[in-house]
Every structure is written in C-alpha cells, then in structure tokens.
Structure 1
Amino acid sequence: MHGPASPGWLLVALCAATGAYCLLRLRSSVEEQRRTAGGEAVMGFGMALMAVPATVAVPPPGAWIAYAAVFGGAAARSLWAARTSAHHLHHLVGALAMVYMAVAMAASPGHHGHGGVPPLTGVLLLYFAGYVLWSGTRLVPVTAVAAAGTRSVGWGDRPELARVCRLAMAMGMLAMLLAL
C-alpha cells in the first residue's frame, strides 16, 4: 500500500496478529467459531501482505491480480455462506473491498492523484467506519460463557476476542482504504 512505512508496519502487525488468532479459533469447540475463523484468517493474513509498505517491498507485477483472484474466491465463498448466516454478508463486503483495492493497486502501482475520493472508496469507508463504531459498542460488556459447565474457556471459544479480532480487521480495512 502507499503511505509511510511506520504506520504500514503497524498495520501489517495488527493484521498478522488477527490472522494468527483466527487460526487459533479453528480449534474451537463452537461450530460457528470454526466456520468463520478460516475466512477471517485468510482476510487477516491477506490484509497483512497487502499492507506491507511499498517503500520496503514492491510486489511482483502479477501479485495484485493474484490477490484479486484469492479474494474473489473468498467473496464467492462468503456469498454462498450468506444464505445461512447474515454475518457472512460482512465477510462478502470485506472480500469485495480487498478485490477492489487489489485491482486499484494493479491499475496504478504508483501513487494515486489528488483528485478526491472515488465514490466506491467513499462508500466502503462509510461502511467500515460504521462497522467499527457498531462492533466497538458490542464489546461492552461481553461475558465469556464456558461451553461445558465449569470447564475453562479456550482461546478459540472467547466471543469477546472474536469481536475484537473483527474490530481490528475493520480498522485495518479503514486504514488501507485511506492509504489507497
């Protein structure tokens, strides 16, 4: 992505940590956690790769097209999963936003002009800003409920951490869209 290196590395770290936690959620005893964790891990790691500052590593010419293809596949999977769970609509919007950013980066590998914010970028910024505010309000208070009586809750079963993970990815998406 375009922009200064320091915030870019912070975004890489945030997205990679989010992706790593989502991998932990794949071991959850809660089926819904496992079902969404894989897609969220792909999103987190994909965002981390796309956020590497351009001043440090310039992706090969076909990388942006590969990103668009991977996230296009993720969008198709989210569209299919959305028939049973409305939460997957958010995954669909996120995957399509990643496709949009990859295509924009492939079309203009240098810095973008200062002609204002394209309408689709503006709509995505509004969506993710709203999602950040909405998901932030859902964090207070969240109680972790043990799945089996007095058994301690594992890292993959903590609903408040899953919400924090989604909030972090939405904030990362905002930062990436602003840097576009």
Structure 2
Amino acid sequence: MHGPASPGWLLVALCAATGAYCLLRMRSSVEDQRRSAGGEALMGFGMAAMAVPAAVYSPPAWAWPAYAAVFGAASLRALWVARRSPHHLHHLVGTVSMVYMAVVMARSPGHHGLHGGTGTPLVTGALLLYFTGFVLLSGMRLVPAAAVAGGGGPAGGSGGEPGGGPGGAATWGDRPELARACRLSMGIGMVAMLLTL
C-alpha cells in the first residue's frame, strides 16, 4: 500500500465490479430486481469514478456539477419510486449522498477521490451513521442467506431455492443474496468515501 492511491484503487475496483453486476441484473426476469438494478449500476459506476485517485486523474471543474445534476435527477426518480414502494427509500438516501459528495468536491478544487474535502460535519456524520447501520444490518441478513444457500438448512428446507424457482432454477443474476451482497458492497464504499469528507 503506497499512500492513499492503493485504497482508492481498491474502492474503484469494488464499485466498478458492483456496477457491472448490477447491469447484468437488469436482464433479470424479476421485475423488482430490474427496477432497482439500473439505479444501483449508476451508483456503482458513479462511486468508482469519484474514487479515482487525484494523482492519476483530476476531473475538470464542470465534472462535479455534472455529477450533482445526474444524481439529482436520479434522486427525483428514487423519490417517485419510493412514493409507491417505501423499501426503495435506501436508493433515495444513496443518490442524495452522491449529490452531497459532488457538491463537496466542487467546493474543494484540487481534492478528488480519497483526498478529503470540506463537508458539513453534521450532514457527513448523519450519512455515515445511516450507511454504517445499513452495512451492519445487510451483513447480518447475508449470514442466514448464505447458510440456506449452502444446503445446511434445518427442517425440510430445499437447500437449492435461493432465488425462488423450483429446484433452484433461478439464475445467478436473480439470487437475492447476491443482490444483497451488491448493496452491501456499495454501502461499504459509501462509508469509505464519506470518511474522507
């Protein structure tokens, strides 16, 4: 590990891989997964771009307002969806967090990726608290899902049905535990990025 560049590249890789998996989830036969996968892919790739170390690439001044506009539009869409499906409120918090980070980066020229800006401590702290809680809860939810997927479940469980299809027929892109792991990865990435503000 050489300074802040190594953690920056690890975060870029994590977020880009998560975004790529979310793109594949857009081909799912499950409508709810398709609906949320596009927004999660946008989040993953946006976070990857924000995390690129400044020593490698420093974006032009117009990039941060562009990020804020894109994720502002995504926030409006997430608000519209959450109106009917309250469980999508997490997407709204994520997109608003991206707008906040873009505004902080725009106010701090010369700071990029894992180099701290000058965020508002109250807002940053509230978002850190939310995403830390989200990561811990998501991690706890993955433990039983992994145990069931391993086939060791008690009491007559058919160990091969994580995706809901008969006999475990769901494709790997439809598996709910992989979607949870995807959201967990983005939550971890968000915590890492907020810690630098």
- Which residue in the other structure is 1:118 paired with? 121
For residue 170 of structure 2, what is the aligned residue in structure 1? 153
Q: Is the contact made by 2:134 and 2:187 (CA closer than 8 Å) also made in structure 1?
A: yes
Deviations 1:11-65 (A, max 9, x none): 0000000000101111111111111100000000110011101111000110000
* Letter of the 2:127 counterpart: L
Q: Deviation of residue 117 (structure 1)?
A: 6.5
- Structure 1: gaps spanning 5 or more residues: none
Deviation at 1:149, TM superposition (A): 1.8
CA distance in 2, matches of 1:103, 1:127: 19
Residues 116 and 196 in structure 2, CA contact (< 8 A), matched pair in contact too: no
Note the 1:101-180 alignment, pairs <5 A. Answer: 101-111=101-111, 118-142=121-145, 143=148, 144-150=161-167, 152-180=169-197
Contact 2:28–2:34 under 8 Å retained in 1: yes
The unaligned stretches of length 5 or more in structure 2 are 149-160
Secondary structure, counterpart of 2:166 in structure 1: coil
Q: Note the C-alpha offset of 1:150.
A: 3.0
Report if aligned partners of 1:128, 1:170 keep a CA contact under 8 Å in 2: yes
Check whether the contact 2:162–2:168 (CA below 8 A) recurs between aligned residues. no
| TM alignment of 1:36-115, pairs within 5 A | 36-111=36-111
The TM-score with structure 2 as length reference comes to 0.84
RMSD of Structure 2 on Structure 1 (CA): 2.0
Question: For 2:23, what is the secondary structure of its paired residue?
Answer: helix
Q: Find the residue that maps to 1:82 and give its secondary structure.
A: helix
Q: In the alignment, is the contact (CA less than 8 A) between 1:24 and 1:155 conserved in 2?
A: no
Between the aligned partners of 2:116 and 2:35, the Cα distance in structure 1 is 40
Cα deviation, residue 116, structure 1: 9.3
Distance 1:131 1:177 in 2: 14
Task: Between the two structures, name the one with larger relative contact order (CA 8 Å, sep ≥ 6).
Answer: 1
Of 140-149 and 4-13, more deviation after overlay is shown by 140-149
Do the aligned partners of residues 102 and 117 (structure 1) sit closer, same or farther apart at CA in structure 2, a change above 3 Å counting?
closer
Q: How far has the Cα of 1:113 moved from its partner? A: 8.2
